[in-house]
Chains A and B, each alone.
Chain A
């Protein structure tokens, strides 16, 4: 975890909203505002404490004042201050090292996004595509869910469907990439579920969507260890998601017209290898048994 650095901002760069207070104990805050906030929060049954990071780097020479503020702030802190400092430092590092250095690019991006990729990846903290594939702002529209599953068109509305619709029909992305990964907790939950598991949990009711992949993984690997079966299922479920993508009429049409490509990816974070393949639409259509045919397959480590 990042250690909160001393404040490097001028005090007025925390231009607080009226409801901003105790977290940073901003000296600038008027008592009247606080009471107003308090009053409002009582009626709303909740309170928002906020601050704005206007990372306009303060001019040099503020150091003394800042130190005072810092002391005051530390004296006034409540629980959660570390988290605020942590997030503040994180954002300021982005702003300084990326945003301000590429300000033209960010100005253009603010007008419109035209990503070439729609990426569906697991929510796992170790596999963010922005990290492992280095996607920069504007490059990839992204869905993160447990076990990077794509539900079928018939399964009805969900956040994944909504994002696919927006990416394909409004943003006109050219590539959909489903990325799975090693040691996936979601796939492990799927593999260890009993077939007649009646216990209802969100996790089980979500990962059951990958049921067909589990059947294949179990059939293919009766002599394999449980871990090996899970690895098998991680990959099999990506292919199922690729097939499920074709159940959306507006996706299949674009794939058939070669306006859209569908790719699978598998990231193994144990040995840092990556596999990538592309769904061969014509060949896959010829196969009747729910298998995909892949092309442009590559593996490297």
Chain B
């Protein structure tokens, strides 16, 4: 079995070699090295392990070794232009759908791409990432990307009304999107459940954008225009991507004239 699996991997590597016609002798040597390593592999059948070797070898040969200047620079520090917050869903990796290369995007992935309001005790995980990206890396663009058929949003929309048993942790997390859910239920009353979920996927991005502004360094960056807040939606059913900008106005104070007969009440 072990022999068979490493033979499989070796066959894959040879395929890789054939596919990349421009591969030079150096790369071929590396493949030989990997083959040698695989042959020394512990005698267990581990497809996960083979997958990782192949993936990394491909990256090293076709990306790292071809861009020595870039990787030399990156080894000394990162200065990404984007902070991206995307869902953990296996189908929506921003590096794939927005073609981010190493160094371009600092990235948080969580269920349903949510940003909770500022809370140092409850939400230090994502808070740490936002704090680091803004205060240490001086990232200028924050992009929250949602997507179609999001399991996290579906859970938010269906529980607890459907009477399903609660999860240990998921429900507690997705309830960050509760304001978006309530808004959708009100504004899209009568729509079917699936449609409401689509609306909520987008509305929840807006909720996260609003929450981002509860982080003082984000808020001050937005105010002095050094930070741009962007919302995105990847629809993998239709192959579409929507993008929008979050802005808030500082409006002139609005004076609403009070009817005179209420005047006396104001004294209370």
Contacts and interface: CB of A to CB of B under 8 A. Distances in A.
Interface string B160-184: 0000000111101110000000000
A291 interface: no
B99 A93 contact: yes
Interface residues of B, number: 101
Most buried by B among A48, A162, A272: A162
A60 to B, nearest CB: 21
A99 B239 contact: yes
Contacts of A182: 75
B74 A202 contact: no
Nearest to A100: B239
A-B pairs, 3 with minimum CB distance: A50-B244, A202-B127, A206-B128
B63 A269 contact: no
Contact of A49 (B81, B124, B148, B245): B245
Interface in B99-129: 99-111, 114, 120-121, 123-129
A260 B251 CA distance: 55
A182 B74 CA distance: 11
Interface in B26-56: 33-34, 37, 41-42, 44, 46, 48-49, 51-56
Given A94-B96, A185-B132, A269-B74, 14 more contacts: A41-B249, A47-B249, A50-B231, A87-B241, A123-B129, A125-B80, A125-B102, A131-B100, A131-B101, A134-B56, A143-B110, A162-B170, A165-B167, A174-B48
A266 to B, nearest CB: 12
Contacts of A145: 108, 110, 125-126, 128-129
B98 A163 contact: no
Nearest to A55: B239
Give the interface SS of chain A, mostly helix, strand, loop or mixed: mixed
B42 to A, nearest CB: 5
B243 A53 contact: yes
Nearest to A38: B249
B91 interface: yes
B90 interface: yes
B240 A94 contact: no
Nearest to B95: A130
A95 B96 CA distance: 10
Contact of B172 (A135, A162, A272): A162
Nearest to B79: A125
Most buried by A among B53, B71, B110, B239: B239
21 contacts: A23-B245, A46-B206, A47-B248, A87-B230, A94-B96, A116-B48, A128-B105, A128-B107, A134-B54, A135-B90, A145-B128, A145-B129, A146-B129, A158-B123, A159-B125, A174-B48, A202-B120, A263-B49, A272-B65, A298-B41, A300-B37
B246 interface: yes
B99 A126 contact: no
A124 B78 contact: yes
Contacts of A128: 93, 95, 100, 102, 105, 107
B8 interface: no
A125 B107 contact: yes
Nearest to B210: A46
A70 interface: no
